[in-house]
Amino acid sequence: MKKIIFWAVVLQIVLVSQAGFAAEKLRAASGGFGTAINVIVPAAYHQGVFKKYGLDVEYIALASGTLGMQTLLANEIQVLFTTGALPVTSNLQGGDVTIIAGGINFFPFKLIVRPEIKAAEDLRGKTVAISQFGSASDFAAVAALERAGVNPKQTTLMQLGANASRLAALTGGAVQATVFSEPFATVAVKKFGMREILDLADSGIPFPQNCFMVRRSYLEQNRVKVVNFIKGVIDGLYVLKRQKAATLPVLKRYLRIDDDETAAIGYDYYLVKHGDGILTLPDRKGIEFVITEVAKTNPKAKGQTPESLKLLDPSVLDEIKKSGFVEKVKR
C-alpha cells in the first residue's frame, strides 16, 4: 500500500512539473503580406521553430497593417510585423506601441505604370492605387511621385487593398499607376507589359518598411516571452536561408503566386540579401521621415520625436546579441 501511495505521489510530481514547462501561448500576426520578408514568421511557425523556445505561437495573416494595429491594441495579438509608420499614428492617439526589431529599413517599392504612361508627368490628373491610407504603400506612392517630380495632390490616391487587387486594377485600366515591391513589380512588367518609372530603393530615403512591434505594457509584463519569440524569428531566418526549396512553397502560399521562379525573386531579394535587417532597429531618420509626413496632416505630430513617442526599444535585441545567440544559430 505504501508503495502505491509513493508512486502516486511521484506521478503527481511529474505531472505538475510537466505542466510547469507547458509552452507559453502567444499570438503573432503579419499586417499585410506585400513582401517576401513577411514569410519569416509563418515559415518559422509552420516549421515548429518557436516550440524550441517554449512558445505555443498562433500565427495570423491579416489583410493590412491598419487592421493589424487595431488587433494589437485590442490585445487580440501580442506581436505584430508590419510597417513602422503605424506606431507613429497609433502613439499620437495615445497608444503604447514600441518597435523591438527591424526588417526592411528602406522603401522596397517601384513605381509601376500602364504602357500609355510614357513619362512621370503623364500621371498628373491620373489615379494611383495604394493598399490603404497610412500604409507603407501610401507613403511609398507619395514619395515616388515627389521623387519623379509630380505633386501627389495632382493625382488621386485610391485604396484598393492587396497586391493582387492593385495589379488587376492596373492591368484592367481602372488605375494608371501603383507601387509594387518584388516579385510583383517584375510580374507586372514581364507578364502584363506594364512599365517601371522609378525604383525607390535607389532613392536613399530611409523608411521603417517592416518591423516587429509590441505594446510596451505587454513587454513589461511578458519580457521573457517576447525575447524568446524574437529568438525564434532569428533562428527561423537562418533556417530559411539554408532551406530555399522548402521556403518557396510557403512564399507562394502567402504571396498568392503560382511559380517557383517568381517566388525565388522575392526570396533572393528579401531573405538572402536583406533578411539580416531584422537584427537592427529601424533607422532613426526613417522614423523622423514618417513623423514629418504625418505632421503635414496631423498637428499632433509637429515637434514630436522617436523619443517623445517612445517608438523604439532596443533592449530585446541587445539582450539577444549580448548572449551570443545570433552567432550560434547562424552556423
Residues 165 and 120 in one domain: yes
Dihedral angle of Cα 206, 164, 134, 147, to the nearest 10 degrees: 40
Residues 213 and 321 in one domain: yes
Residues with pLDDT less than 70, the chain: 1-22
Position 162 scores a pLDDT of 84
CATH of the domain at 137: 3.40.190.10
pLDDT, residue 19, reads 37
Q: How many domains does the chain have?
A: 2
Model pLDDT for residues 76-121, shown as the tens digit of each residue: 999 999 999 999 999 999 999 999 999 888 999 999 999 999 999 9
Over the stretch 3-17, which tens digit does the pLDDT of each residue have?
A: 443 343 333 433 333
Cell of 227: 525575447
Q: Which range marks the domain in which residue 298 is found? A: 23-106+207-330
CA-to-CA separations, 217 to 55, 97, 220, 306, 331, in angstroms, rounded = 19, 9, 5, 18, 35
Residue 123: its pLDDT value, please?
A: 97
Does residue 188 sit in the same domain as residue 211? no
User: How far apart are the C-alpha atoms of 43 and 240, rounded to whole Å?
Assistant: 8
User: What integer pLDDT is reported at residue 292 of this predicted model?
Assistant: 95
pLDDT at position 221, please? 97
Q: Report yes or no on 16 lying in a domain.
A: no
Is residue 277 situated within a structural domain?
yes
